[in-house]
Amino acid sequence: MTLPQRIIAASFTSLFLGIGSAMAADLAAPDSVTVPQAEASAFDWTGFYVGASIGYGFGEETTDLQAFPDVPAVDFGAFDLDGMTGGVQAGYNRQFGSFVAGIEADFQMTGFDGQGSGSVNSVNTDTDFGIDWYGTLRPRVGYAFDRTLVYATGGFAFGSVSGTIDADDGGSVAARVESDSAGLGYAVGAGIEHALTENLSIKAEYQYVHLRAEGHGVVSSGGVDTGVTASTSFEPNLHTAKVGLNYRF
């Protein structure tokens, strides 16, 4: 074998040895792969719940009175009111990833009460009004940070609004109008809820509640009904802050 032939043969031998080494390396057992552990399931807010709440509210109320059909309504202005509130709620949540959507209804007994006084056409007036109870029916949408839910809410509101208007000019006019009527309106708000256990959660919530109650009251003078029916309008605007406890099924 000549020298050039020997060089070519040596080159092919080295090439085949390199290819064989590479194939042997590829056929070797792969390194062990660490399979990550599955993360624990996040808290699930889906389900029905019931609960109770207590809170405080304040706001203002405007009053209109029309004692005779041909006489323009008298605007008594705005008066402050405040008081405690307490009640129950029930609802349902459905979770989609980190987003939570649901609906909630609540019923609140209240101590909201306010008084105001003024003078209309030289007649002194005293107004006493209150909200006996109110309720809401509201969708809720929120974002869950595992066991903590931040949400916004808004919907329909209704309630019972009562009022008494006394008018006295110190002489010929001394009359009282009493009215108790249903109010309709809306409620909007936001809150935060935190799950203590799989079933029990606590929450804090702010709501703005607007109601308008239009009713009729009989005008009395000296304790005797005059037969005159007055139209009344009570329009409370409330800011409420509540804390509550929910139990989820």
pLDDT digits (tens, 9 = 90+) for 192-226: 999 999 999 999 999 999 999 887 776 777 666 76
Would you say residue 34 lies in a domain?
Answer: no
Residue type, 85: T
pTM of the predicted structure, to 2 decimals: 0.75
For residues 10 and 160, give the distance between their C-alpha atoms in angstroms, rounded to a whole number.
105
Q: What is the pLDDT of residue 181?
A: 84
Give the closest residue to 209 by CA, choosing from 161, 243, 162, 163.
161
130 pLDDT band, cuts 50/70/90, is: confident
Range of the domain at 234: 47-248
Would you say residue 42 lies in a domain?
Answer: no
CATH number, domain of 63, equals 2.40.160
For the chain, give percent helix, strand, coil, nearest 5.
10, 70, 20
Would you say residue 143 lies in a domain?
Answer: yes
- Could you give the C-alpha distances from 157 to 104, 129, 183, in angstroms and in order? 12, 19, 8
Would you say residue 15 lies in a domain?
Answer: no
Would you say residue 137 lies in a domain?
Answer: yes
Q: What is the pLDDT of residue 11?
A: 45
Q: What is the pLDDT of residue 10?
A: 47
Residue 135 has pLDDT above 70, yes or no: yes
What is the mean pLDDT of the segment spanning 50-75?
Answer: 80
Give the closest residue to 199 by CA, choosing from 27, 21, 45.
45
Q: What is the pLDDT of residue 9?
A: 46
